[in-house]
Amino acid sequence: MKTMPTVRTALAATVLWLGLGMPPAQAAKPPSFTMQDLTGAEHKLSDYRGKWVILNFWATWCPPCLEELPQLNSYHDANPDDVLLGINYEEIKPEYLRAFVAQEQINFPVLPIGDHVLPGLEPINGLPTTIIIAPDGELIAKHTGPLTRGMLEHFLAGERRAAQTRQALK
């Protein structure tokens, strides 16, 4: 059967992504939240249907988050068709956060958590936490701990192949 290697490759990518916190049987569709980034632009999760969405929860005081930021910048530059949103998960003055984002040269939208509650995405049990949402809106993975550009690309390549296989079998 020609599709088996693709399915096996996708499964291997899923297994290799250590810390995958949500098996497919427990995956759920997240709500459509609306949040503003530091420039005032509005981001609605539902507006990104049809695209892969990476939500990265982080904080300025978190050393693993700071290690991860250059990797996320690199991923964002190399994968313009994916949506990467950084959700700053701390109480912090907006002017301090803007200065931090400029200093660290973060090149993807940063959304302060503020008073927002994100059912279906929380609880966040540690930082950084990255959540992957498929183009159909399904939450497919939740990972706590720092990631590299390579880890994200490898995982998503497997998921893209699996999605193409599922589509071809329909």
Q: What is the pLDDT of residues 23-48, one digit of tens each?
A: 443 445 555 799 999 999 999 999 99
Distances (CA, A) of 33 to 20, 40, 43, 142, 153: 23, 15, 8, 17, 25
In CATH terms, the fold of domain 22-147 is: Glutaredoxin (3.40.30)
The pLDDT of 70-91, averaged and rounded, is 98
CB atoms within 10 A of CB 125: 9
- Average pLDDT of the residues of the chain: 85
Tell me what pLDDT residue 111 has. Answer: 98
Residue 12 has pLDDT above 70, yes or no: no
Kindly tell me if the per-residue pLDDT of 19 is higher than 60.
no
pLDDT digits (tens, 9 = 90+) for 108-161: 999 999 988 888 888 899 999 999 999 989 899 999 999 999 999 999 999 999
- CB 129 within 8 Å of CB 113: no
CB 139 within 8 A of CB 28: yes
Q: What is the dihedral of CA 149, 152, 157, 162, to 10 degrees?
A: 180
What is the predicted pLDDT for the residue at 87? 98
Tokens (6 digits) for 136: 């159909």
95-99 long-range Cβ contacts below 8 angstroms, 24+ apart: 96/60, 97/38, 97/60, 98/38
Q: Once rounded to an integer, what is the mean pLDDT over residues 3-8?
A: 40
**In the chain, where are the structural domains located?**
22-147
